[in-house]
């Protein structure tokens, strides 16, 4: 029993030191994320020391319960053990929350500092009404047609700008007033007039 109590005392002291260090680094981490690795290491030490302390505590508690003359000693020891458990759980929760939050901030910072990729702008293809050029025209214009960020009127404006002035295609599109309802009609007519012929030529 005395040997177990000596181990318990040493482990409680070691746990108290580890807990104190963890608390200090929690305060540092709030101001600077550079100590993240150190706090993570202290978190592991804290878990290890408390786990070993719990093993000794169980043995001591069992021995104290077996001896009816030590019930009062058991109660005092139990209260002390509960105090250590409460401190451990409270600190563990704070450390894990701080580590999670700091890692998230570091990831966001890394993403913010990453070089931004500039995508090349694509040039809208002009279409005159020549069936041979319809597939090329549509492969580019379909990016606008399928966009969820543009209104039908906006798409119609782009479509109108893609027509070669005074061409057959321009004459067809110009016959539709630029409205939301007419956009889909204009597209249907454009495909019907020039798309099918183009398909036949490709075949």
pTM: 0.40
pLDDT, tens digit (0-9, with 9 covering 90-100), for 26-50: 666 555 555 566 667 777 777 887 8
Model confidence at 188, pLDDT cuts 50, 70, 90, reads very high
Question: By the 8 A CB rule, do 178 and 157 touch?
Answer: yes
DSSP state of 194: I
Instruction: Please tell me the distance from the alpha carbon of residue 172 to that of residue 125, in angstroms, as a whole number.
Output: 17
Predicted local distance difference test score (pLDDT) of residue 61? 79
Q: DSSP string of 128-180? A: -S-GGGHHHHHHHHHHHHT-SSS-HHHHHHHHHHTBPTTSHHHHHHHTS-S-H
Model confidence at 176, pLDDT cuts 50, 70, 90, reads very high
Contacts of 165 (CB under 8 A, 6+ apart): none
Is the predicted pLDDT of residue 88 greater than 90, yes or no?
no
Is the predicted pLDDT of residue 128 greater than 50, yes or no?
yes
- Other Cβ atoms within 10 Å of 135 Cβ, number: 14
Instruction: Please tell me the distance from the alpha carbon of residue 155 to that of residue 127, in angstroms, as a whole number.
Output: 15
Is the predicted pLDDT of residue 108 greater than 70, yes or no?
no
Taking the domains of the chain in order of start, what are their residue ranges?
Answer: 1-106, 131-194
Is the predicted pLDDT of residue 119 greater than 50, yes or no?
no
Distance from chain centroid for Cα 6? 48
**Pick the residue with more confidence: 106 or 79?**
79
**147: which 2 tokens?**
């966009």
**Pick the residue with more confidence: 93 or 145?**
145
Predicted local distance difference test score (pLDDT) of residue 182? 93
Average pLDDT, the chain: 77
Instruction: Give the phi and the psi of residue 163 in degrees, each rounded to 5.
Output: -85, 135
Model confidence at 86, pLDDT cuts 50, 70, 90, reads confident
The CATH code that applies to domain 1-106 is 1.20.58
Determine the average pLDDT of the residues in 108-129: 61
**164: which 2 tokens?**
């070669």
């Amino acid at each position: 029993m005395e040997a177990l109590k000596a181990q318990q005392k040493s482990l409680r002291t070691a746990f108290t030191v580890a807990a104190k260090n963890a608390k200090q680094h929690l305060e540092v981490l709030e101001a600077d994320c550079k100590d993240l690795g150190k706090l993570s290491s202290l978190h592991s030490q804290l878990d290890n020391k408390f786990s070993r302390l719990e093993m000794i505590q169980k043995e001591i508690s069992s021995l104290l319960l077996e001896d009816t003359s030590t019930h009062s000693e058991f109660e005092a020891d139990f209260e002390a053990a509960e105090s250590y458990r409460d401190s451990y759980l409270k600190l563990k929760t704070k450390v894990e929350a701080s580590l999670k939050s700091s890692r998230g901030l570091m990831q966001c910072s890394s993403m913010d500092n990453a070089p931004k990729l500039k995508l090349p702008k694509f040039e809208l293809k002009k279409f005159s009404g020549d069936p041979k050029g319809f597939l090329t025209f549509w492969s580019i214009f379909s990016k606008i047609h399928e966009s969820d960020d543009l209104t039908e009127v906006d798409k119609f404006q782009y479509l109108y700008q893609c027509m070669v002035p005074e061409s057959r295609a321009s004459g067809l599109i110009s016959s539709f007033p630029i409205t939301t309802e007419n956009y889909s009609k204009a597209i249907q007519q454009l495909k019907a007039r020039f798309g099918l012929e183009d398909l036949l030529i490709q075949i």
